[in-house]
Chains A and B, each alone.
Chain A
């Protein structure tokens, strides 16, 4: 009500203050296994959040819930202040049109050549004709350090790192408002990893996109993140500046960032 009555200038100020993405109390269980147990996250417009956490701690599940690929058991997910879980299907699809996603394993369509993979969303939204798609694909591939000739190969003919970069190209080709990167640099050599990090920073700064990235690489987390959040046992246990990782003062985060065996996090190893 107050928003409706506010002057236009004020309404804009309120819009700027609403976080782009806000997750509250997200819960998800697979059978008896409680993977997410009340996750709270907030990302401001044009900011980049890095999510850290041990293997199997539910990072990918969190992102898939926000994308609408997994239906959470409880909690709310707001994008631009609107609860996506309560949206009509049509509105939700419209919302999804503005989101880009890099899947952990690439998830390239192996029945399509690379150039069609890269321009898939633009072609699906009819923002591009098939005749011009190859040129566009070459342009986006160049951004991720791949030659235009790669466009004519099939995904199965690429190395793991090249697949990752093609998947990254596909995620950013449609210039989304919100981008999720699920481990963008795992499987890449350190130099290419730094290049990709630069590209992600570029996307966020140049396009004004809001990004959530998952990574295990601390150097990369410091480079791409404005802020960082640590997930453990289905909850966010720490949030803070990404630059401060490694000397955050939180015992769990410091153990994770420095890769120590001893500390509050016990890996569940069975002998």
Chain B
């Protein structure tokens, strides 16, 4: 009887302990990775390779996402705001929602799919084929060689990508505004920049850096801890993408609260 009552409690306890262990492991992994970012020797070649992979090759996806988001925003707010005769606010709405919110979040989600998966698959394969052990025997710290350059590259690359996304998103809104909704180009651009504050853009870029860190961390961590052959690597890839996507959304709320709550 007692066992019947206690079993569910035990299961909950086990799950909680497991979750704590996993979170603690990820946190320690993050700290160790970051400490290697700051300590020489630095692997500039690997940093550069990761940077190109993240910043340059994600550019098309992020650009398309941003342009279409800007276009949709303009169109949606036009139909919505027309009810209140508030069409003049459209340009501001587009630019503020993009820089503060949609630019960083959507760019990060797109990059999480590409980069989180590729990091997890590459490092996971290295783990299950003993390549990470081989690094250790070849006088190279795998955290420094594999994790630190990727963390740093993602933290730097994401803000740059988001800056591009902001510009292209505004351009998408402007295209729809002038070509379809009948705004005068100069007036649209003027109202875009009239209400825009530096804080809007900067908070978005800080968010982007944080998201970049989360993406690289989840990708490398899931890969590093993977075991069990091709299936294990597949699982690591999935977890990396799911975990980083959820963490991006959660972190987005927390950062917004920090930046904008009065």
Contact = CB atoms under 8 A, between A and B. Distances in A.
Interface of A: 64, 67-69, 93, 96-97, 99-101, 103-105, 107-111, 120-121, 124-125, 170, 174
Contacts of A64: 133
A110 B132 CA distance: 12
Given A107-B133, A110-B131, A174-B139, 19 more contacts: A64-B133, A67-B136, A93-B141, A96-B136, A96-B137, A100-B137, A103-B134, A104-B130, A105-B130, A107-B129, A107-B130, A107-B131, A107-B134, A109-B134, A109-B135, A120-B140, A121-B139, A121-B140, A170-B138
Contacts of B138: 120-121, 124, 170
Contacts of A100: 137
A99 B133 CA distance: 13
Interface of B: 122, 126, 129-131, 133-141
A174 B117 CA distance: 35
Contacts of A67: 133, 136-137
Contacts of B137: 67, 69, 96, 99-101
28 contacts: A64-B133, A69-B133, A69-B136, A69-B137, A93-B139, A93-B141, A96-B137, A96-B139, A97-B139, A99-B137, A101-B134, A101-B137, A105-B130, A107-B129, A107-B130, A107-B133, A107-B134, A109-B126, A109-B131, A109-B134, A120-B138, A120-B140, A121-B138, A121-B140, A124-B138, A124-B139, A124-B140, A170-B138
B139 A125 contact: yes
- Secondary structure at the A interface, as helix, strand, loop or mixed, is loop
A93 B143 CA distance: 14
Contacts of A103: 130, 133-134
A107 B137 CA distance: 11
A103 B138 CA distance: 12
Contacts of B139: 93, 96-97, 121, 124-125, 174
